[in-house]
Structure 1
């Protein structure tokens, strides 16, 4: 049963006193205007039994909750003790204008609440800036960090297999083999800036060669073009920025500057950026293929810092690739590197070693709140 519903029923049966948490706060402050935050904390903990003990469920006063969050008390649904605790602590500090005095564990609870319940609160940039005071910019990778490129590619390949089998009467084995040949060529792809061939023409050629290698036939440009068009359009259709990821970026941008740093050929990456519509969430977008060097080169990280007007030691890099995102961030002297490792249990000793390891970009808030309070030389996992 949601905690609020439980509270409502208790209040109706008069099993809890009518004095609300915020009323107690106002009352204590009025009767003892020079009392310390510690005194208030301890007194309210005793009164409501859950600021420190982690039990009980105080009612937050309608006036204060509406004033701070823009919503009424009955819109709250408290599902976790940590959520209740963090909101009470937060209200104390909002009331006294001293959010910066929170311990890092309390900041972690508060910030985590912001991101897990983004639609319920009107969070000002000031609140988050107090929490993330030491991080001036966050650099994000795109592929398999913010969007599921691998998953989109898998779906695109399956569509091509189906067309080859059911429209062009390939056997299942030949259809799969053709797609495997194409993906091998894609992994080995090298774009020569001096070449007159466009990326689209190059990838049509990949499909043409893959078809020839599988069936030992004459070049079939028409079929190769069909396969490429289907693969490309299907893949782009599935490159979406999830709602939770959009909320994460929206809230983060209230506190710090965001930059998208992605490797890859200019046209390919720009099409992905347009497909997932991520431009509005970033202060700047840097595509490696538009520069002389890509990640992990030091020059491109220096360029990113220059664009935002920040120092490397004030930035963090978030990405899924150890050899580009993490190595590049380490070599550039960034404040921290965060590795997105979806298979947390499969890599015991990653190299290079990131500062932090998390299974999803959605776990980033928990990391951000601890960065200012950990030695930058330490390496951490969300599961530590």
Structure 2
């Protein structure tokens, strides 16, 4: 299967979390700052580590109230900190959450290299951003990275009441971009939402962003292509588009790989 699949593409759709911004990495770094805060409060090291590990697990599994996507995200995540800290430390939950939120937000960024990439792509393609999550939480991140500077259309599941992998959220993007599904590429890190949804919506091409060792033959659903970083999609696009050598040769230094980040997290533990 070769890059010819891109010949008729006019639209590139991107996922946000862990595709364009390293949300998992930001979560880990923020948890580490809370760990340091708890130690400064003379909380035993093992107790502090257990608490931040629990919260990280909680927030990755259920970042918002699963029974109410429009609910108060701050209240939900504060409750997760209270659960993670337990009765003996629950009084420190408000400060822990404030530290976690501030550090996490600071590290949610595109970086200059990725901004350059999106500007280059926008010269030749319409760009869309499709992200799952509650409206308030996702738009906070979207505004922070100035996504409106790079995307023609931004769709949050909390706004349209449809979430990936439902074809409906993709169809909303097609409508707003005045494009057919057969003109669209979907780029995302999750097989179960980004890739599955794009396939159900009949997108022309699916690109899975992952630094795992899994081959395309070993995963389901099976995307058309796999890349380690978003930057590598330039290698798939037709040469006739004429992207600058500057853009093709730059590396995504800010968006460090999740695998490298995970190794550092294990080392710190």
Q: TM-score if structure 2 supplies the norm length?
A: 0.81
**Corresponding position of 2:204:** 335
User: Does the alignment pair 1:307 with 2:176?
Assistant: yes
- Show the counterpart of 1:68: none
Secondary structure class of the residue paired with 1:193: coil
Residue among 116, 123, 148 paired with 1:279: 148
TM-score (normalizing by structure 1): 0.58
SS at match of 2:236: helix
Cα distance change of structure 1 residues 264 and 176 upon mapping to structure 2, 3 Å threshold: same
Partner of 1:150: 24
Q: 1:206-355 maps to which residues of 2 (within 5 A)?
A: 206-212=80-86, 216-217=87-88, 219-220=90-91, 223-343=92-212, 345-347=213-215, 349-355=218-224
Counterparts of 2:25 and 2:73, CA distance in 1: 22
SS of residue matched to 2:218: coil
Output aligned runs, 1:1-384, within 5 Å. 134-166=8-40, 168-189=41-62, 190-193=65-68, 198-212=72-86, 216-217=87-88, 219-220=90-91, 223-343=92-212, 345-347=213-215, 349-369=218-238
Kept in 1, the 8 Å contact 2:69–2:134? The answer is: no
**Does structure 2 conserve the Cα–Cα contact (< 8 Å) formed by 1:144 and 1:150?**
yes
Q: For the pair shown, which has the larger CA radius of gyration, 1 or 2?
A: 1
Please say if residues 15 and 131 of structure 2, whose CA atoms lie closer than 8 Å, have aligned partners that are also in contact.
yes
What is the CA deviation profile of residues 177-228 of structure 1, one whole-angstrom value per residue up to 9, with x for unaligned ones? 1112212322342343387x5111111111112111xxx52742xx111111
- Between the aligned partners of 2:155 and 2:227, the Cα distance in structure 1 is 24
Deviation at 1:133, TM superposition (A): 5.8
The CA deviation at 1:171 is 1.4
- Equivalent pairs, count: 236
CA spacing shift, 1:188–1:359, aligned 2, 3 Å: closer
Cα contact 1:237–1:275 (8 A) shared by 2 = no
Q: Please list every run of 5 or more consecutive structure 1 residues that lacks an aligned counterpart in the other structure.
A: 1-103, 109-131, 371-384
Query: Would the aligned equivalents of 2:69 and 2:133 in 1 still touch at CA under 8 Å?
Result: no
